[in-house]
Amino acid sequence: MPTISFINQNLNITVAPGATILEAARAANIEIESPCNAVGTCGKCSVRLLDAAQLDHVNDSSDNHLSQVDRAAGYVLACQTSVYGDIEVIVHSKADENRRLNILAEGESFDYAGDPYITKRAGGDVTKVFGGETLLGIEPGDTTEYAYGIALDIGTTTLVAELIHLPTGERLASESMLNPQSTYAQDVLTRIHFAAQEGGLQTLHEAFLSAFSSLRDRLIQTAKINPRHVYEVVYSGNTTMLHLAAGVDPAPLGKYPYILNIIGGEHIPATSLGLSPFGQIYLPPIISAFVGADITSGILVSRLEQKAGATLFIDIGTNGEIVLAQGGRLAATSTAAGPAFEGMNIVCGARAVPGSVEQFQIDGDGRPAYKTIGGARAIGICGSGLLDIVGELVRSGVVGKNGRFVSPDQGGYAEPLKAAMRRHEGKFAFFITDDVFITQRDIRQVQLAKGAIRSGITALLAKLSIPETFVDEVLIAGSFGYHLCESSLLNIGLIPPAFAGKVRFVGNTSQSGAAAFLLNTGFRAGMREMALKVDKVELADTPDFEKLFIASLGF
């Protein structure tokens, strides 16, 4: 029986011949990112064998993603590499990435009165804790001063938690981290598929609970409070994330007619969160199978129902969600944009960590310049940098409207750009540095992602019979969206030219909306009614949507 030694984790595990490195790592609770759910398409689960001679002990069935240089150095894809002899594997810890990850924790909101669901009334030698008018429990002594809640944004990729003092609304601490479920599956659909496998739902639910425990402990330590005085947690996230966080099977969301096992606007017990023994979890109202409570939160804090004229609200991410509001009427849809905007499925893609290229420009003389997070040496390209690069290459003529590179001998673009066009494994790629570049395949991934969102925008406008020129404001929401710039969105055609000058970036409204639900119980009934009234636009049912999507792919 072969033995796999995980060097960094100081752990040895014996496996059956033919087991993959990823299977062994998961059995040993070692995190190796495999956002494509181990089908070998993303290339993100690469690990290195300590001795390249040990390549003779494995069978790597992958045929892309790794260069010949990497293979010669002992790199393999963990999900595609079967083990038949003893090997030593180097896996870098995900804890280091969590420490370095740049996550936006705040979003726009508005002024509102405090009216929390949790209240306390002291009398005699005890304090009664109420949820609304319901008595939740009794505590000894006078504890009226100690009442806290947590507003939690459960993103597909990241988690953001904020500890709030309920009587005053004071924000005491905020913490964030990578959603560990993304280690197993990057986007919503692959996560639903993973959950449907034997033990998959339990794995994803336990991963979430472990992450919450870490966030909880850091919040408690920062604020120096007793966790037993945290009485309510608001979960704000897309529909699939809420199912997984609650430990509820999301399988019906993955197939027609897309039935919800959770509809939101309700409480569930918080017994598994290590808080007050009578703590509650509030799930905000869900709009549809793929327009979740995170969008309900965004509608709440952006006051979409109250805006005059026509307003588009777009949450750009792996599950692009779009809401169109006009005169109090709302229509919503979602698009499977995929993980490209998160830097996944991109050869040099990276999360938003120091060293990731986050900004890119080409000046009037054709000289490219870039900026990395933290000013560190470039190690990869995060989502905002990816859109900047593609947008600038399109604007400068390096990439044609059809999404194909224009070769240096045929292109009329500047000499510095021609110098950056080099061969990589026989095909042209654009090099930002000697080690960081963008390939033709990467550009195709961006095309597919932007085409999904652009076609969703077009379909919604058609649903409400609103011309593009009649849109008054475009709100770009989400942690990823906040780091984008209007010019990049226009350059790649993710938004139409008519939206120029109308874009506003509103940040993590899922988080700020969760805080609003936590601090004012009056919003809950109103947003439950709103969620029922929203027109749900299923793009699959839109006439000629396939033609619309294809038409949206061009730059």
Q: Is the pLDDT of residue 95 over 50?
A: no
* Cis bond upstream, residue 467 (ω within 30): no
Eight-state DSSP code of residue 406: P
Would you state the pLDDT for residue 63? 61
Highest mean pLDDT among 71-85, 508-522, 537-551: 508-522
pLDDT in tens, 273-323: 999 999 999 999 999 999 999 999 999 999 999 998 999 999 987 788 999
Q: Where are the alpha helices (DSSP H) in 235-341?
A: 239-246, 293-302
Domain annotation covers residue 166: yes
Say how far apart CA 284 and CA 298 lie, in whole Å: 11
Q: Per residue in 169-218, pLDDT tens? A: 999 999 999 899 988 888 888 899 999 999 999 999 999 999 999 999 99
**For residue 35, pLDDT beyond 70:** no
For the domain that residue 252 is a member of, what is the CATH number?
3.30.420.480
Residues 10 and 57 in one domain: yes
Residues 142, 226: one domain? Answer: yes
Asked if 157 and 249 sit in the same domain, the reply is yes
Give the count of domains, the chain: 2
283 and 148 co-located in one domain: yes
Q: Determine the average pLDDT of the residues in 30-52.
A: 75
pLDDT tens digits along 344-383: 788 898 888 889 999 999 999 999 999 999 899 999 999 8
Give 35 or 26, the one with higher predicted confidence.
Answer: 26
229 falls within a domain: yes
Residue predicted with more confidence, 104 or 415 = 415
Please tell me the predicted confidence (pLDDT) of residue 64. 61
The boundaries of the domain holding residue 146 are 118-294
Task: Show which of 278, 294, 310 is a domain's final residue.
Answer: 294
Q: What pLDDT score was predicted for residue 101?
A: 56
Same domain, 206 and 273: yes
Same domain, 283 and 180: yes
* 356 falls within a domain: no
Q: Clarify whether residues 125 and 65 are in a common domain.
A: no
Distance CA 152, CA 309 (A): 32
Residues 34, 20: Cα–Cα separation, whole Å: 13
Average model confidence (pLDDT) across the chain? 90
Residue 54 lies in a domain: yes
For the ranges 29-33, 101-105, 143-147, 306-310, which has the lowest average pLDDT? 101-105
Q: Which residue has the higher pLDDT, 149 or 95?
A: 149
Q: Which of 243, 275, 294 is the last residue of a domain?
A: 294
Smallest CA-to-CA distance from 294 within 340, 336, 261, 334 is with 334
- Give the pLDDT confidence score for residue 502 in this predicted structure: 97
Compute the CA torsion angle 321, 323, 324, 325 (nearest 10 deg): -170
Q: Is residue 475 part of a domain?
A: no
Q: Model confidence at 402, in pLDDT bands (50, 70, 90)?
A: very high
Percent over 70 (pLDDT), the chain: 95
Residues 283 and 176 in one domain: yes
Q: Are residues 266 and 125 in the same domain?
A: yes
- 160 belongs to a structural domain: yes
Is residue 68 domain-shared with residue 138, that is, in the same domain? no
More confident residue, 308 or 513: 513
The CATH number of the domain holding residue 33 is 3.10.20.30
Pair 179, 130 in one domain: yes
372 found inside a domain: no
- Over 90: is that where the pLDDT of 265 sits? yes
Of the chain, the percentage scoring pLDDT greater than 90 comes to: 66
Q: Clarify whether residues 24 and 132 are in a common domain.
A: no
Contact 329, 535 (CB under 8 A): yes
pLDDT of residue 97: 52
Q: Which of 25-34, 219-228, 252-261, 468-477 has the lowest mean pLDDT?
A: 25-34
Q: Is residue 217 part of a domain?
A: yes
Rounded Cα distance between 10 and 115, Å, is 51
Q: Which of 268, 294, 320 is the last residue of a domain?
A: 294
Q: What's the length of the chain?
A: 555
